[in-house]
């Protein structure tokens, strides 16, 4: 049996049968760390004055997400490998180059966060040549017979959404954080499996993918209506008029951008899932005390 989620009247409603396997919660680790370091409501300092906001926020938000699901959860945190962007940069050197001047000091907390996860029994994984997005996608492709929730604010994961896979955005409004297929169709007017096609047309500034100038969400959804894919578009008769011509003029770029957007579900990821629920996490204050970070 599979834990089932629905979204009703703008509020998430979770139905869970305790005889099912635990929900598989796959966490985009660096996304959560970035949000913890730069989006936490206030700075958290140790008794000695050290700013521990990044690690405190990471642990607090992870605990909150697990509790929010309201069911048993098997949690796995995935991190980007050090060379994780190399494969996509081989396709397009501009990929994520807009982040070259960003402040990455928060990454200094990674060893501490990994230690904390080990202390509380949360599995974490990292493969040097792959991004966390691809690890998560590969795990989604390998798992069957259970519900999967991907925790991230990154819309790239929308392409993984299905009847059993959901995205949890804990930065969203209360009651609208669990994202299912209907949310994507209602808001963007495309199916989850069209997401990479849609974003190739509109662009994705966070990854330095410009998209086709003049093709915004409405025009992209219009060209992709009724489940159209980029492969079908040239023979569809839709690439006419001014905007059809604009897309044709950038066609090879569009195909390249789609390749950048696609998540790899075919990776051979070695991970023995326990199918057992992760033990409840202590609050962040307790855990930081165990790690001697309050000193």
Is the same domain home to 173 and 209?
no
Q: Is residue 288 part of a domain?
A: no
pTM for the whole structure? 0.90
State how far the Cα of 121 lies from the Cα of 268, in Å rounded to an integer.
Answer: 24
pLDDT at site 224: 98
Is the same domain home to 84 and 125?
yes
Question: Is-contact 54 105, C-beta < 8 A?
Answer: no
Is the same domain home to 164 and 60?
yes
Question: Is-contact 233 243, C-beta < 8 A?
Answer: no
Task: Print pLDDT tens along the chain (295 aa).
Answer: 344 443 332 333 344 444 478 999 999 999 999 999 998 888 999 888 999 999 999 999 999 999 989 889 999 999 999 898 899 999 989 888 888 777 888 889 999 999 999 999 999 999 989 999 999 999 998 888 899 999 999 999 999 999 999 999 988 877 778 999 999 999 999 999 999 999 999 999 989 999 999 999 999 999 999 999 999 999 999 999 999 999 999 999 999 999 999 999 888 887 778 888 999 999 998 888 888 888 7
Is the same domain home to 133 and 216?
no
Is the same domain home to 29 and 151?
yes
Q: What is the dihedral of CA 148, 36, 207, 224, to 10 degrees?
A: 40
Q: Considering its fold, how many domains does the chain have in total?
A: 2
Is the same domain home to 98 and 216?
no
pLDDT at site 7: 36
Residue 36 per-residue DSSP state: H
pLDDT at site 209: 94
Is the same domain home to 180 and 208?
no
Write b or e for each residue in 204-229: b if 16 or more Cβ atoms lie within 10 A of its Cβ, otherwise e: beebbbebbeebeeebbbebbeeebe
Residue 153, number of CB atoms within 10 A of its CB: 18
pLDDT at site 189: 97
* Three-state DSSP class for residue 285: helix
Is the same domain home to 247 and 274?
no
Q: Is residue 293 part of a domain?
A: no
Is the same domain home to 164 and 219?
no
Is the same domain home to 182 and 204?
no
pLDDT at site 22: 93
Q: Is residue 289 part of a domain?
A: no
Is the same domain home to 42 and 64?
yes
Range of the domain at 237: 192-261
Is the same domain home to 138 and 213?
no
State how far the Cα of 260 lies from the Cα of 238, in Å rounded to an integer.
Answer: 24
């Amino acid at each position: 049996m599979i834990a089932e989620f629905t979204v009703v009247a703008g509020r998430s409603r979770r139905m869970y049968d305790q005889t099912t396997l635990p929900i598989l919660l796959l966490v985009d680790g660096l996304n959560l760390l970035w949000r913890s370091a730069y989006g936490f409501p206030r700075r958290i300092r140790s008794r000695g004055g050290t700013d521990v906001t990044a690690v405190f926020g990471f642990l607090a938000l992870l605990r909150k997400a697990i509790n929010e699901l309201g069911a048993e959860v098997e949690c796995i945190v995935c991190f980007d490998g050090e060379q994780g962007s190399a494969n996509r940069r081989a396709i397009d050197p501009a990929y994520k180059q807009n982040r070259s001047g960003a402040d990455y000091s928060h990454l200094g907390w990674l060893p501490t966060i990994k230690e904390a996860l080990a202390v509380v029994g949360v599995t974490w994984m990292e493969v040097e040549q792959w991004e966390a997005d691809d690890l998560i996608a590969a795990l989604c492709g390998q798992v069957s017979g259970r519900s999967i929730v991907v925790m991230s604010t990154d819309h790239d994961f929308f392409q993984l959404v299905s009847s059993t896979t959901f995205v949890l955005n804990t930065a969203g409004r209360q009651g609208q954080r669990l994202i299912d297929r209907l949310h994507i169709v209602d808001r963007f007017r495309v199916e989850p499996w069209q997401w990479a096609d849609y974003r190739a047309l509109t662009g994705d500034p966070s990854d330095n993918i410009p998209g086709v100038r003049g093709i915004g969400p409405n025009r992209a959804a219009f060209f992709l209506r009724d489940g159209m894919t980029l492969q079908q578009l040239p023979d569809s008769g839709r690439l006419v008029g001014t905007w059809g011509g604009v897309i044709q003029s950038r066609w090879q770029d569009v195909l390249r951008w789609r390749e950048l957007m696609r998540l790899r579900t075919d990776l051979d990821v070695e991970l023995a899932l326990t199918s057992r629920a992760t033990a409840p996490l202590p609050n962040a204050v307790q855990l930081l005390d165990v790690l001697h970070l309050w000193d």
